[in-house]
Homo-oligomer: A and B are copies of this chain.
Amino acid sequence: MKDNSLPTRDRILQAAGKLFHRDGIRAVSVDAIAEKAGVTKRTLYYHFRSKDDLIAAHLQTRDEPNLALFKRWFDEAEGDVSGKVAGIFRQLAHSARSAKWKGCGFLRTSVELINLPGHPALVVARAHKKRVEDWLASTFTKAGASSEAASLARQVMLLLDGAFSVVLLHRDPSYMETAAEAAADLVRHGISNSNLSAVPPTGRTT
């Protein structure tokens, strides 16, 4: 019955990912995941110590690809840094038009588990968000906004997670465009302010 050639552990993760995405975390039972993976529950518990561990492992698999996607969208967008940041939001607006779009999995999972302070998935989610923020800060630094880079990165993260939440709640991707404009404004304004009191821009935007 193993129509899928992936190793068992990966098949479980893949099945869990689909179900978590579609129905949320708590709404999905271990039995359902095992069945979807074509595996018995006992096998699942051989590969993962608990459901909580499985949740964390699932988020871990999304960390790297998610960040890579943001980087690609940034690189492929036209214009200066502010335009490239806006490009991320515009690509998200595109994704959000799909009926299957469910916002940010890290955010959704965190909210569902926020009342369990030590949950391993929360650690993974926090690390992921920090990675994105750090990457943003580094691009702002490269663009010559060394003194404002950290603050700008935080502001963009606020808009990003806000857009995830608002677009998901209202199912209205136009908020993603609003976020694109706000982010571009803040970045443009922040960088020009920074350049006034900073060394001449030595960073490259490529």
A interface residue numbers (CB < 8 A to B): 22-24, 26-27, 102-103, 107-108, 110-112, 114-115, 122, 125-126, 129-130, 151, 154-155, 157-166, 168-170, 175, 178-179, 181-182, 185-186, 189
Contacts of A26 in B (CB 8 A): 26-27, 112
Distance A165 CA – B166 CA, assembled complex (angstroms): 11
CB neighbours of A179 from chain B (8 A): 155, 158
Whether A178 contacts B162 in the complex (CB less than 8 A), given A108-B111, A111-B108, A189-B185, comes out as no
Chain A interface mostly: helix
A167 to chain B, nearest CB (A): 9
Hey, which chain B residues are within 8 Å of A103, CB to CB?
111, 114
CA distance A101 to B175 in the complex (A): 27
The 7 A-B residue pairs with the shortest CB-CB distance, nearest first, are: A162-B162, A158-B162, A111-B111, A155-B182, A161-B165, A154-B178, A161-B162
Q: Do residues B27 and A115 form an inter-chain contact, with CB atoms below 8 A?
A: yes
How far apart are the CA atoms of A190 and B24 in the complex, in Å?
Answer: 38
Query: How close is A138's CB to chain B, nearest CB, in angstroms?
Result: 18
> Which of A114, A162, A168 has the most C-beta atoms of chain B within 10 angstroms of its own C-beta?
A162
Interfacial chain B residues near A108, Cβ < 8 Å? 111, 114
Give which listed residue, B115, B161, B185, contacts A166 with CB less than 8 A.
Answer: B161
Whether A115 lies near B158 (C-beta < 8 A) is: no
**Separation in Å of the A180 CB from the closest CB of chain B?**
10
Query: Which B residue's beta carbon lies closest to that of A109?
Result: B111
Instruction: Give the nearest-CB partner of A151 in chain B.
Output: B178
Could you write out 29 A-B pairs with CB less than 8 Å apart? A26-B27, A102-B114, A102-B115, A107-B111, A108-B111, A110-B168, A111-B165, A111-B168, A112-B112, A122-B169, A129-B169, A151-B178, A155-B178, A155-B181, A155-B182, A157-B166, A157-B175, A158-B158, A158-B166, A159-B182, A161-B161, A161-B165, A161-B166, A161-B169, A162-B162, A162-B163, A165-B165, A185-B189, A189-B189
